[in-house]
Structure 1
Amino acid sequence: MGRISHFLGIKADFNKSGIFLSQSLYAQEIIERAGMADCKPIATPVDLKSKLSAEEGPLVPDPTSYRSLAGALQYLTFIRPDISYAVHQICLYMHSPRQQHFQALRRIIRYIKGTISRGLQLVKDRIDSLTAYSDADWRGFPDIRRSTSGYCVFLGSNLISWFAKRQPTVS
């Protein structure tokens, strides 16, 4: 059948270094569905100065739109580990989204607009090491005083696994 070019919305480009996986077409669809085709890009997916709260601010008038966009962003994290933490944050409030959550979602989309060509490069290389990094924020959820922890794992120079999750107990 030949080399793979597209699979489940993921584009595979073979280059001299290995394979570059991207979801730029899917990302563009998300931007257009959000009505943000003309938005200005932003440098980071998260505002580090503010913490999201489950109770502050007015509810989003159309939670279905919020949930649809948040779910679409979740699928985008398969190839975009740089947005995993931010998407995890907004998905925690899908049951009762508020305006501040919707603003955080729109910020992620603005970030994607400026980084639409990013993806995951899998390098043809010797696999001689397994390296893992982990981190956690402190009390990232002011309502319940829980933290978010995350990790990423590299096999050689290839990122093979990443994860972000709210910790089940208070740190």
Structure 2
Amino acid sequence: MSDCHSVSTSTDSRAKLSEMDSALVADPTKYRILARALQYLTHTRPDLAYAVQQVYLYMHDPRELHLALLKRILLYVKGSIGYGLHLGTSTLTTLMTYFDVD
């Protein structure tokens, strides 16, 4: 999928997923491996949480339509590689908080 074009959103808001709309995925193990990898990515990419949760709903019986959603998420990640929370080490030993009094 490295030669594919990226997409601007992680899910299609008009698409409706169901359990029986399409054929079974040929290799459900690969589907599950990709879905689990995306779940780890949600720790630093909260914008993917809803889409990955939708993929996880069908882990027990993945269909081609669900695989298409999984691929769409990968295309979105490709186009938004710089987004997300950047976690790193720091020498600071104090905790800073911000709040709005309004």
TM-score above 0.5, yes or no: yes
Structure 1 stretches of 4+ with a deviation exceeding 2 A read none
TM-score computed with the length of structure 1 as normaliser: 0.51
Q: Which runs of 5+ in 1 are unaligned?
A: 1-35, 131-171
* Residue 116 of structure 1, CA deviation: 1.0
Given residue 58 of structure 2, which amino acid in structure 1 is its aligned partner? Y
* 1:89-100 pair list within 5 angstroms: 89-100=54-65
Matched, 1:68 2:33: yes
Residue number in structure 1 paired with 2:74: 109
Report the CA distance between 1:128 and its aligned residue: 3.5
Q: Secondary structure at the match of 2:21?
A: coil
Q: What letter is aligned with 1:77?
A: T
What is aligned with 1:78? 43
How many equivalent residue pairs? 94
CA distance in 2, matches of 1:72, 1:121: 18
Letter in 2 for 1:127: T
- CA shift, 1:126, in A, is 4.9
Alignment partner, residue 146 of structure 1: none
In structure 2, runs of 5+ residues without a counterpart are 88-94
Q: Relative CO higher for 1 or 2, CA cutoff 8 Å, sep ≥ 6?
A: 2
Tell me how far apart the structure 2 counterparts of residues 38 and 116 of structure 1 sit (CA, whole Å): 15
Equivalent position of 1:52 in the other structure: 17
**Partners of 1:104 and 1:121 in 2: how far apart?**
26
72, 80, 84: which one aligns with 1:119? 84
Q: Tell whether the 8 Å contact from 2:22 to 2:63 is kept in structure 1 after alignment.
A: yes
2:99 aligned with 1:129: yes
Q: TM-score scaled to structure 2, two decimals?
A: 0.84
SS at match of 1:119: coil
Partner of 1:33: none
SS in 2 for 1:60: coil
Alignment of 1:32-43 (within 5 A): 36-43=1-8
Q: Alpha-carbon deviation of 1:37?
A: 1.0
Bigger proportion of residues as helix: 2
User: How far 1:88 sits from its partner (Å)?
Assistant: 0.4
Give 1:117 deviation, angstroms: 1.7
